[in-house]
Amino acid sequence: MKKLIIFLMILFVLSGCSRKVNSVAASNLEINNSMSHLTPLSIPIHYTSAYDEKTLKEMGIKLSSTNIVPKIGELEVRKIAEDLLRQTAVQPKSIYLEYGLITANVGIGGISAEAINANPVLKNKKSIVDVPVWVITLKGLLPDDYVPDHRGKEPLDISSTVIDANTGKALFGFGTGK
């Protein structure tokens, strides 16, 4: 009788553990499934800069690191990047997400009224100086064997969209050819 009680107790404990393991596995599956729609698995995401400081300076852009916590977090910016991916005709080879303070030679007149109205701080500025942003960069838009023909404007191989880190609105974009 004692052996039967011990056996039933072990069985009871194990069945409770298996339910717990199954619920943990199910919740992990839900998390993984909710993340899987963000970007195709074949496109790597890097949380670093796609540009060197010299290239940014040539474009009139300075991006500095900051300890300010963005209102738009990594998950939200990944969703914004996914929306940008849907709008591109060619899938990039990689995606770069970088957070920082941007100073750029872009007048406020070059930014949409919607973006300015969404962020009261931008309303009072005359230019983009030390604004917290996410820079979403799609890199590798041109085929590896692309040869420029120099007859017109060179297409972008690296395309960046600057997102207001407080509102999630696009401020402006920039990029470079191959």
CA 35 to chain centre: 13
Residue 98 exposed, middle or buried by CB count within 10 Å (0-12, 13-18, 19+): buried
Output 69 or 113, whichever has higher pLDDT.
69
**Domain boundaries in the chain?**
1-36, 43-176
Question: Is the confidence at residue 178, as pLDDT, over 90?
Answer: no
| Cα gap 102→164, rounded to integer Å | 10
pLDDT for res 9: 54
Q: Tens of pLDDT along 2-57?
A: 555 555 555 444 445 444 333 333 333 333 333 334 455 478 888 888 888 888 99
| Cα gap 87→42, rounded to integer Å | 18
